[in-house]
Amino acid sequence: MKTHGEYCPIAKAVEVLGERWSILVMRELLMGVSGFNDMTRGLPGISRTMLSKRLRELIAVGVVEKLDGEYHLTPAGQELRPLIFGLGAWGEQWLLGDPDPAELEPLALFWHAHPRFNTAELPDRQVVIAFELDARPERFWVVVEPVGCSICDHDPGFDVDVVVRCDLTEIYRVWYNQTSMKAAIKADHVRFEGPPALVRRMPKMLELTDPTQLGVDASSARPVWFS
């Protein structure tokens, strides 16, 4: 790891987090992701070699530890939570405009969104929601159960309760607080098909919950990928 040769806490912190991908790897860990393969889903541009390197570096400085083949934050790593999510809030306010088409990666988007779905008002049973993207081939299925959400990019074989059809650019804008779900629905960028009682609950469900609480209790907030 490169050093600045300066006895300064900011310089020392930048040495830990300033390398490319380091903060984004920490983002995944703070969101409750602990498996190597799951991290690659949230970091579509990283190579497996680079991810391994960054994890080794973060372990070496004491912010990450490896246990039983999975990666977890140490107390020092957990204390980065307000700093990294605060950096995200600053970027959301000052840097995000309309997304560039080259930046649109539906797998990463749905991977990051699905553990934040607000499922409190859904029935206390399995609810399967299929997402279809306008003019895109990708499809995603979210399986909501009392213990949390799972996501799959192929049909899991369950009966679908609700179909959500949406424009990828607009759902990006909604989930990164550049427009509202109400405005997206009014403009016909997000549409629902299913029983009226469930359809009425969809807009509230798709308003994502606070990301800073992900991973605080890994047993309840951990993202799950169906394979």
> In whole angstroms, how far apart are CA 5 and each of 12, 58, 63, 73?
9, 19, 21, 26
Q: Distance between CA atoms of 84 and 26, rounded to whole angstroms?
A: 8
Taking the model in full, what pTM does it have?
A: 0.89
Q: In whole angstroms, what is the distance from residue 31 CA to residue 111 CA?
A: 11
pLDDT at 219 over 50: no
In whole angstroms, give the CA distance from residue 145 to residue 200. Answer: 18
Under DSSP, is residue 51 helix (H, G, I), strand (E, B) or coil? helix
* HSE-CB of 204 using CA atoms within 13 angstroms: 9
- The confidence band for 1, taking pLDDT boundaries of 50, 70 and 90, is low
- The β-bridge partners of 105 are none
Domains and CATH numbers, the chain: 9-95 (1.10.10.10), 101-212 (3.30.1050.10)
Write out pLDDT tens, residues 48-98.
999 999 999 999 999 999 999 999 999 999 999 999 999 999 999 999 888
The whole-number pLDDT of residue 213 equals 80
CA angle centred on 61, ends 78 and 34, rounded to 5°: 50
pLDDT per residue over 29-53, tens digit each?
Answer: 999 999 999 999 999 999 999 999 9
